[in-house]
A and B are shown apart, each in its own frame.
Chain A
């Protein structure tokens, strides 16, 4: 049942700018998501993720730039777009006095072909809480109800703004499975998160945003690939090991540095011999090399390299 024969992308954002007073929330942002893909917006608090999502949902009017969601302008044609999307706003959203089941049934009643609300409550582990008023649900239960509300109308595209915030590990895993199932069924998903593993596990493409700008973009594999063509070996051990000793044992064009206390990086041609040299050097100093990995920065490394390591307010 394809309501829409057009092949416009799920999301097409060009040159989006949005400021609130003197604060620049989003600056010249481009985003594109194909149908049936999962796109993760990854960024620290205040990076502009929610502003971007709310602009795509039609809640905010862009200062400049062009936003098309499923080929539709969300501001001027919101009423046409909204039946086709599912929205999970940050921090839930329900009548404080409405019971969980009532709230989901109300949202379901807005759609022509909704999923069975009772089944969805059961799937999300909310059956026992079905008669509990929203304001008395735990934070994680409110999040799960909000996710159910986003999915119940069988949308083509869902916006999930930090969907697993406040959830325990079991609930988070369930949400991940749900998102994978959505993707498998051809639903497009725009996800914001600051959890690296979430973006790495779920997303076809990751856009790292900071101060309202896209600072990196690609698949998780692309983002974590070595950027200068040279390979990289990372490991953790005791701080302040004698690197001079290691450098004399390594081939000449290799560099070695301790980038943070106890975290070492070797750049150069990394072959089995290099790895063996490093571990032998550790053995001579009677220390263990932990988390030794070759050629792959974690998404977190990329993220912190790009967005800085100081704490954001």
Chain B
């Protein structure tokens, strides 16, 4: 750290009127804390160049690329099959990779400890991050959805409502895994692990290609990864207007529960 060089002349010789610091402790309303925390978390994500690249630019590029280039045996119109998988990728980018990296560096900079030392209850500390992630996911869905529509995507209208809880479930499942990685490892390691997992799941987890187009064992495995499960269930609702099968939902719940439980035990403040 550099030493201080900023001029504080304006305040030199400051005398404070008596009572300026008279104690008046007290906790603000929890919803006020939750709102302030959520807003700042969301702002920080949307302002961060690399996060926007990961959360929006790459999914947009893949949406356009996979819909126009003829990769894999996908039924026409390609965009109908691509949009659900790109939306699943967007959820993974924000809730897992983005969350893990942000948490890793927030811990490095001592912010988790700093906030733990305030009146902010623990549930607000977690809730603010979850809500901010949901806000960002909602924005991604809107932007990617509009882009998809412009490219000729025709979603099954009856499936739109059913997709909403899937986005929430996917965000929670990937978010729990993100907290596990970001809350336990050193910031540099988090950066490496979170990006590597993202890349592997993109290629082999049923996102770039649907699980059934992946070779043998990899395709079978993809059904049991959160990426494949989310893509599959979004495909069922958005492309076919059907309810998602029980298996993908259970896969997401299981990943979220297991990583969440482990994260609860291993997450460190710094």
Contacts and interface: CB of A to CB of B under 8 A. Distances in A.
A147 B42 CA distance: 25
B23 A187 contact: yes
B121 A155 contact: no
A32 to B, nearest CB: 20
B128 to A, nearest CB: 10
Contacts of B118: 82-83, 87, 107, 110-111, 153
A2 B25 CA distance: 9
A109 B33 contact: yes
Interface in B20-54: 20-28, 32-33, 36-37, 40, 43-44, 47-48
Contacts of A84: 23, 25
Interface in B82-131: 105-106, 108-111, 113-114, 116-122
A176 B135 CA distance: 43
Contacts of B14: 123, 174, 177
B12 A174 contact: yes
B78 to A, nearest CB: 37
Given A89-B114, A97-B47, A173-B12, A168 B3 contact: yes
A138 B4 CA distance: 6
A149 B114 contact: yes
Interface string A105-117: 1110111110100
Contact of A89 (B1, B15, B110): B110
Contacts of B2: 138-140
Contacts of B215: none
Contacts of A135: 109
Nearest to B9: A170
Interface stretch (A21-29, A178-186, A279-287): A178-186
A94 B28 contact: no
Interface string A3-25: 10000000000000000000000
A109 B28 contact: yes
B43 to A, nearest CB: 8
B220 interface: no
A94 B18 contact: no
B48 A97 contact: yes
A204 interface: no
A133 to B, nearest CB: 9
Nearest to B106: A95
A1 B4 CA distance: 37
A154 interface: yes
Q: Looking at B20, B32, B120, which has the most chain A CB atoms within 10 Å of its CB?
A: B20
Interface residues of B, number: 51
Contacts of B121: 79
Contact of B113 (A59, A128, A155): A59
Given A138-B3, A138-B4, A186-B22, A111 B106 contact: no
Interface in B110-158: 110-111, 113-114, 116-122
A151 interface: yes
Given A93-B114, A153-B118, A184-B18, A83 B26 contact: yes
Interface in A141-194: 141-144, 146, 149, 151, 153-156, 166-168, 170-171, 173-174, 177-178, 181-182, 184-187
A154 B23 contact: yes
B131 to A, nearest CB: 14
Interface in B42-74: 43-44, 47-48
B6 interface: yes
A125 B114 CA distance: 21
A265 interface: no
Given A82-B118, A89-B117, A123-B14, A94 B3 contact: no
Most B Cβ at <10 Å: residue of A106, A113, A143, A177: A106
A141 B117 CA distance: 20
Contacts of A196: none
Contacts of B111: 93-96
B8 interface: yes
B23 A111 contact: no
Nearest to A183: B21
Contact of B12 (A83, A128, A149, A170): A170
A97 B44 contact: yes
Given A96-B105, A154-B23, A182-B21, A87 B8 contact: no
Contacts of A154: 21-25
A92 B26 contact: no
Contacts of B105: 96
Given A110-B118, A181-B15, 9 more contacts: A3-B26, A57-B117, A96-B105, A107-B118, A138-B3, A153-B118, A154-B21, A170-B12, A177-B14
